[in-house]
Amino acid sequence: MGRNRAGFTLLEVTLVLLIFSVMLALLLPRLRDPGRVELEAQSKRLAQTFRWLRSEAVMNGVSYQLNFDLDQQRYWVSPVEGEGTDLAEFAHEVGSLARGTQLQSPVGMVDVVLPTLAGKVAQGQIYTMFYPDGTVDMTVIHMANGRDAYTLYLNPMNGRLKVVPGYHEVEYAG
C-alpha cells in the first residue's frame, strides 16, 4: 500500500512566494509614501466635488461657484450672489462643502488655470462657475505634494473633471 504524502511541492511553494513578492513590490511603495496617497485621495475628492456640483446646478437650476483660496490651500462651494438662494438652506444642503476643504501639507494646489477668464493663478482667490445648463468654466487644477503631481482638467466634451498623473499644461482649442 502506497503512502499518502501531505504537503506542498517545491514548485508550489516557489510559485506562491513569487506571487507574494510581486504583490509586495507593487504595494510597498504606495504604503511608504503617505503624501502620494493623500495627493491621490484629495485629487479624486475634488473631481467628485466637480461632478456633484455640476449635477446640483442642473437639478436646482441655480449657478454655483467652486472657490479656491491658493494662499490658504482650501476650496469651498457657494451659491452665486443675487440668484435668490437662501444661504442657511444652502449650507444645510451642501454641508461640509460650504465650510470648505482644507488641504493638509504636503498636499496643495500649485495653480488653477481658467483659460477663458483669468489665465493661470498661483496665489489669491479664484473660482469656477457651474451653470444650470450643465456647462462649467474651463478649468485646470494642478495639485502636488512636493514630489508627485496631478493635473485635473475639465473635459469640454462631457463636462467632467479628468484626473491624470503629472503636471501637464492643457491646451483648449479656441
pLDDT at 142 over 90: yes
| Rounded CA separation 146/131 (Å) | 34
Q: What is the CATH number of the domain that holds 50?
A: 3.55.40.10
Confidence (pLDDT) at 88: 57
User: Could you give the 3-state DSSP secondary structure of residue 36?
Assistant: helix
Number of structural domains found in the chain: 1
Residue 95 lies in a domain: yes
Mean pLDDT of the chain: 84
pLDDT of residue 29: 66
Tell me, yes or no, whether 27 lies in a domain.
Answer: no
Whether residue 68 is predicted with pLDDT greater than 90 in this model: the reply is yes
Quick one: average pLDDT of 136-143?
Answer: 93
- Domain of residue 88 covers 35-165
List all residues 6 or more positions away from 87 whose beta carbon is below 8 Å from its beta carbon. Answer: 79
CB count in 10 Å sphere of residue 49:
18
Distance separating alpha carbons of residues 112 and 68, to the nearest angstrom: 8
- What pLDDT is stored for residue 172 in this prediction? 75
The answer to whether position 17 is within a domain reads no
* Distance of alpha carbon 98 from the chain centroid: 17
**Does residue 29 form part of some domain?**
no
Task: Answer whether residue 7 is part of any domain.
Answer: no
Asked, for residue 21, whether it belongs to a domain, the answer is no
What's the confidence (pLDDT) of residue 17?
93
**Residue 20 forms part of a structural domain:** no
* Cell digits of residue 59: 437639478
Closest CA to 144 of 113, 108, 102: 108
Distances, alpha carbon 32 to alpha carbons 24, 37, 59, 160, in Å: 12, 9, 42, 31
Q: The pTM is what? A: 0.74
